């Protein structure tokens, strides 16, 4: 069972949901894995303080051109969809940071002038924390290409004998989100009851509908009388899974880098509907 925790924007409480959900699940289930796929700004480890037992760099293949074999046809630059190659005055220039490692240039080259070399994009680390297994990716500083690292985090988790994976996804609606949520059985969409929260939620809902994943909404920092998200969810026939109250105690816990449910077990009630949904779907 793979559960993605996503949100249309950053700062909605996605990591709070992911870490506390994994913690709560680990009280009932064995082989729970939390994957921090927000590789550009991973922060779950701050709350979990894991002990890592595995660390491995991740590389993406990028082309290198042998000028002696090159017959100057320019086909490699023509086929590259990412402008990672330029053909200028009979020479091929490679921009490794733009390369997605698709391999098309090497396949089309008529003279075998293109071979591949590895470019490090980050590192995958795994270990144990607060009663469950934890895996995260950390992008190299300044790295713009996060999907290969996200895929490496997921691949590492899939090697294990897991019962439940919780995937803390990057915020937004672009390629890294698709790389993270793909293959999930269900998506928990975390939002907050503000106009910004609603705007970004709508974009994220569009994406989930386009890629055909089942999802429901978690309202974080919920206040008694705010109906902003609920009215939208009703009009779109989307299930509100749970509401996590706006609480100073939770905010203080977060700011100290602590797991909410470890220190404030009274908020367990807000997470229980999520456990029930996972149980039903299992």
**Among 101, 147, 148, 197, contact with ligand SF4 (rule: CB under 6 A):** 101
Q: Which range, of 26-34, 104-112, 190-198, 263-271, touches ligand SF4 by CB under 6 A?
A: 104-112
Site for ligand SF4 in 27-66 (CB under 6 A): 63, 65
Closest CB 196 distance from ligand SF4, rounded Å: 34
- Binding segment for ligand SF4 (CB under 6 A), chosen from 18-26, 108-116, 118-126, 148-156, is 108-116
Q: Does 3 bind ligand SF4 (CB under 6 A)?
A: no
Give the 3-state secondary structure percentages of the chain, helix then strand then coil, rounded to 5: 35, 30, 35
Q: In the bound complex, what is the minimum distance in angstroms from residue 77's beta carbon to ligand SF4? A: 7
Q: Which stretch binds ligand SF4 (CB under 6 A): 32-40, 81-89, 160-168, 272-280?
A: 81-89
Give the length of the chain.
Answer: 282
Collapsing DSSP to helix, strand or coil, 218 comes out as strand
| Residue 86 C-beta: closest distance to ligand SF4, Å | 10
- CB distance 250 to 13 below 8 Å: no
Considering the rule CB under 6 A, would residue 71 count as an interface residue with ligand SF4?
yes
Q: Are 94 and 62 in contact (CB under 8 A)?
A: yes
Q: Is 216 helix (H, G, I), strand (E, B) or coil?
A: strand
Contact 204, 173 (CB under 8 A): yes
Residues within window 153-192 making contact with ligand SF4, judged by CB under 6 A: none
Q: Does residue 114 touch ligand SF4 according to CB under 6 A?
A: yes
Q: Is 96 exposed, middle or buried (0-12, 13-18, 19+ CB in 10 A)?
A: middle
């Amino acid at each position: 069972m793979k559960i993605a925790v996503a949100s249309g924007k950053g700062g909605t409480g996605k990591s709070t949901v992911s870490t506390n959900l994994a913690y709560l699940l680990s009280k009932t289930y064995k082989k729970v894995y939390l994957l921090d796929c927000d590789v550009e700004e991973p922060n779950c480890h701050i709350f979990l303080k894991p002990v890592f037992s595995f660390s491995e760099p991740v590389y993406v293949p990028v082309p290198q051109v042998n000028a002696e074999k090159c017959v100057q046809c320019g086909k490699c630059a023509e086929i590259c969809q990412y402008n990672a190659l330029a053909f200028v005055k009979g020479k091929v220039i490679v921009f490794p940071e733009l390369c997605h490692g698709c391999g098309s240039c090497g396949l089309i080259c008529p003279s075998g002038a293109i071979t591949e070399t590895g470019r490090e994009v980050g590192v995958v680390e795994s270990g144990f924390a607060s009663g469950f297994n934890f895996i995260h990716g950390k992008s190299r500083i300044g790295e713009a290409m996060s999907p290969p690292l996200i895929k490496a985090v997921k691949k590492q988790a899939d090697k294990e004998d897991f019962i439940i994976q919780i995937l803390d996804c990057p915020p937004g609606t672009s390629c890294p989100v698709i790389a993270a949520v793909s293959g999930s059985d269900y998506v928990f969409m975390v939002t907050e009851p503000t106009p910004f929260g609603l705007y970004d939620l709508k974009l994220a809902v569009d994406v989930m509908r386009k890629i055909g994943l089942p999802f429901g909404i978690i309202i974080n920092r919920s206040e008694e009388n705010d109906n902003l998200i609920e009215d939208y969810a009703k009009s779109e026939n989307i299930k509100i899974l749970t509401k996590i109250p706006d609480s100073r105690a939770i905010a203080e816990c977060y700011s100290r880098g602590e797991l909410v449910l470890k220190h404030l077990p009274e908020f367990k009630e807000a997470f229980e509907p999520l456990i029930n949904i996972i149980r039903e779907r299992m």
